[in-house]
Amino acid sequence: MRGLQNNPLDRLLQTMTTVRDTSLPPTASAIVEPAPLFPPIAPYRTGFLAVDDLHTLYWEECGNPDGEAVLFLHGGPGGGLSPRHRQFFDPSHYRIVLFDQRGAGQSTPHGEVRDNTTPLLVDDIEKLREMLGISRWLVFGGSWGSTLALAYGQAYPQRCTGFILRGIFLCTQAEIDWFMDGMGQFFPEAHADFRAGAAEAEGKEEGEGLLQAYARKLFGTDKPAALRAARSWSTYEGRCAFLRPNEEAVADLAADALSLSIGRLEAHYFVHAGFLEDGQLLANLDRIRHLPACIVQGRYDMICPPSVAYQLHRAWPGSRLVMVPDAGHSASEPGNSAALVGATEAWRKGRAF
C-alpha cells in the first residue's frame, strides 16, 4: 500500500471530515416517487446579451412567462446548453431561464478564455437577471454549474429563493487533482489514454504536470494539436461520467466544437483554481445558509466524489441530500434525472424540499 500514499484519493479524503453529526437530517435516496422528464419544449423567447466588448451570451426563456423564475446553470465550464435541460421543470409553473456561459454553446467567441473568470460569470448572471426584470429566482446547477450557483448565491443572496444542486464541485485543489489523476484508480484505461493524449506529438516537457501539458497544447498555436488535445480531454471526462458506459454520449463530447469549449475552458479554470480561494465556497456558506437547498448526488459519481456533496450538506444544516443509489455523475442517468425532477416538483408544490 506504500505506493498509494499521498495520491489524489488520499488528498481528497483528507479534506473531508468523518465525524457523524447527529443533528443533521438523514440523507434520502429520493424526494418523491421517480418521475420522468417533462416533454420537450421550445423557447418562447431567445436573445443575445453583450456583457463586455468581447463576450456575447446566448440566452433563452421557456415555460410560463408569468411563472416562478428558475435559472439553469450548465456544467463544464464550456459544456453549453442542451434542449434536454429545459425538461427538468414543469413548464406550466416555471419561467425557465437558460444561457450559455462565456465561451460555451452559442455564446461568442466560442472557446474564448480571455476575460473568462468566475467573478465575471457571476456578474453575467446578474446582468441577465436585470435585463429580464426578474426579482428573485430558484438557482439550479450541476457539476461546474453547482460551483457557479454557490458563487453567485454568495455574491447575491438576496436574489435567490433556493438552490437545487447536483454533482457537487467546490473547485478545491484536491478535487482538481482528483479529476486529473485520481479517477484513474477507477478508470485506468481511460486515464492511460488521457495521459497518452498529453504526450502525443511534441510530448510533455521535463517536470511538466498533466494539467500543464494539456494547457500548453490547448492554448498553443498548433490548432490541429489543440483539437486533438481537446478531444482527448472531453473523451476522458465522458468515459468517467456514467455508471454504465454511454458510448453515444462520449461521441457527442468528442465533437469538434463541444470538445474545444470543454477542453479549453476546463483547463483554463483548473489552471487558475477556478478563480477562487481554496475552500472559499464553504468558507462563505454563511451568506446563503438561511436559504433552502436540495443536493442531488450520484452514489458512484467518479468525477465529483460524493464525499464533497456530503461535506457541503454537513455545512448546510437546512439542506436536503439525495444520494442516488444507482447513478454516476451525468444528469442524464435515470436516477439523477428522477431526483432532479423530484426536487423541482417538491419545490413547486411546497417551495421546500
Predicted local confidence at residue 207, as pLDDT: 62
Asked whether residue 344 falls in the same domain as residue 256, the answer is no
Last residue of one domain, picked from the residues 233, 257, 273? 273
Predicted local confidence at residue 16, as pLDDT: 40
The C-alpha atoms of residue 352 and residue 146 are separated, in whole angstroms, by 19
Asked whether residue 78 falls in the same domain as residue 167, the answer is yes
332 located within any domain: yes
Last residue of one domain, picked from the residues 214, 245, 273? 273
* Mean pLDDT within 317-334: 96
- Check whether 266 has a pLDDT greater than 70: yes
43 located within any domain: yes
Asked whether residue 112 falls in the same domain as residue 27, the answer is yes
Q: Which residues contact 275 (CB under 8 A, 6 or more apart)?
A: 117, 118, 119, 269
* Mean pLDDT within 296-316: 98
Asked whether residue 76 falls in the same domain as residue 210, the answer is no
- Check whether 95 has a pLDDT greater than 80: yes
4 located within any domain: no
- Check whether 251 has a pLDDT greater than 60: yes
pTM flag (> 0.85) = yes
Cis peptide before 91 (omega within 30 of 0): no
Q: What is the CATH number of the domain that holds 26?
A: 3.40.50.1820
Last residue of one domain, picked from the residues 273, 293, 325? 273
- Check whether 294 has a pLDDT greater than 50: yes
104 located within any domain: yes
Q: What is the 3-state secondary structure (H, E, C) of the chain?
A: CHHHCCCHHHHHHHCCCCCCCCCCCCCECCCCCCCCCCCCCCCCEEEEEECCCCCEEEEEEEECCCCEEEEEECCCCCCCCCHHHHHHCCCCCEEEEEECCCCCCCCECCCCCCCCCHHHHHHHHHHHHHHHCCCCEEEEEECHHHHHHHHHHHHCHHHEEEEEEECCCCCCHHHHHHHHCHHHHCCHHHHHHHHHHHHCCCCCCCCCCHHHHHHHHHCCCCHHHHHHHHHHHHHHHHHHCCCCCCHHHHHHHCCHHHHHHHHHHHHHHHHCHHHCCCCHHHHCHHHCCCCCEEEEEECCCCCCCHHHHHHHHHHCCCCEEEEECCCCCCCCCHHHHHHHHHHHHHHHHHCCC
* Mean pLDDT within 90-112: 98
Predicted local confidence at residue 4, as pLDDT: 40
3 located within any domain: no
CA nearest neighbour of 105 among 221, 260, 324, 327: 260
313 is known as an active-site residue = no
pLDDT mean across residues, the chain: 90
- Residues paired with residue 320 on neighbouring β-strands, in sequence order: 294
Asked whether residue 190 falls in the same domain as residue 113, the answer is no
Catalytic entry in 301, 313, 330, 337: 301
pLDDT-derived band at 351 (thresholds 50, 70, 90) equals confident
Predicted local confidence at residue 208, as pLDDT: 74
Range of the domain at 186: 181-273
pLDDT digits (tens, 9 = 90+) for 146-169: 999 999 999 999 999 999 999 999
Of 36-40, 206-210, 257-261, the range with the lowest mean pLDDT is 206-210
pLDDT digits (tens, 9 = 90+) for 2-49: 334 455 545 554 444 333 333 344 444 434 444 589 999 999 999 999
Asked whether residue 245 falls in the same domain as residue 279, the answer is no
Asked whether residue 341 falls in the same domain as residue 258, the answer is no
pLDDT-derived band at 204 (thresholds 50, 70, 90) equals low
Length of the chain: 353
Catalytic entry in 55, 191, 268, 329: 329
pLDDT digits (tens, 9 = 90+) for 45-76: 999 999 999 999 999 999 999 999 999 999 99
Catalytic entry in 107, 143, 234, 330: 143
pLDDT digits (tens, 9 = 90+) for 102-139: 999 999 999 999 999 999 999 999 999 999 999 999 99
85 is known as an active-site residue = no
Asked whether residue 23 falls in the same domain as residue 122, the answer is yes
Asked whether residue 46 falls in the same domain as residue 150, the answer is yes
301 is known as an active-site residue = yes
Predicted local confidence at residue 58, as pLDDT: 98
Predicted local confidence at residue 254, as pLDDT: 85
Asked whether residue 210 falls in the same domain as residue 269, the answer is yes
319 located within any domain: yes
Domains in the chain, number: 2
